Amino acid sequence: MRITKFGHACVRVEHGDTTVVVDPGAFTDPAALAGADAVLITHEHMDHFEESRLRAVLEADPALRVWTNSAVAAQLEGVAQRVSVVGEGDAFELGGSGGLGVSVHGEWHAVIHPDIPRVRNIGFLFDGRLFHPGDALTVPPHTVETLLLPIGAPWTKVSELVDYVREAGPRQAVPVHDAVLSPIGLAVHTRLVGTEGPGGAALHTLGERESLDLG
């Protein structure tokens, strides 16, 4: 399995002959979607879901399919037959028999502010090894090899990230959701969450279009 970071919260996952793109939002280079077999979307916010761009890609590639929650699916009228609605506890397989298994975990976006209504949010666990929580600190159902860690957002604070990686206990964490941080801010956050700080997580920070082989 190989992951490639494509800006902010978007990650491209390649496993055998299957290519999956998670959360290609407004801050993501459209090239992330080239040749994808499936698009998975955690929730409806524009930095994770860009409707017009996704519609254009679906029109250009009749084989492309989408898995997401009901709120995002409701915005994709006209292509509903290519959108699968999933939620907490669901599981599916991409790429056919022997492909990439995906399970769904979590229900709600983290609280930004009590005055801002929460939206639905789901996380995706790939092959039991790689977890993308979307915009929530959902603890995966078991210890995972790699956790995609939302390192900076209006709803996060470092103390919560520290507690999250301690509780989840992944073998390694890869920071995502970082477009809102300056380089200095990213360095501060990763230092506190990583092995030099109280988080103690083994971090592997990826730049734009950098990849990591998970074996």
Q: What is the DSSP string of 66-86?
A: EEE-HHHHTT-TT-GGGEEE-
Whether 199 has a pLDDT exceeding 90, the answer reads: yes
- Give me the chain's average pLDDT, please: 96
State the average pLDDT over residues 3-29: 96
Distance between CA atoms of 5 and 174, rounded to whole angstroms? 9
Whether 132 has a pLDDT exceeding 70, the answer reads: yes
CATH number for the segment(s) 2-83+100-213: 3.60.15.10
Whether 160 has a pLDDT exceeding 90, the answer reads: yes
pLDDT band at residue 108 under the 50/70/90 scheme = very high
pLDDT given for residue 114 in this prediction: 96
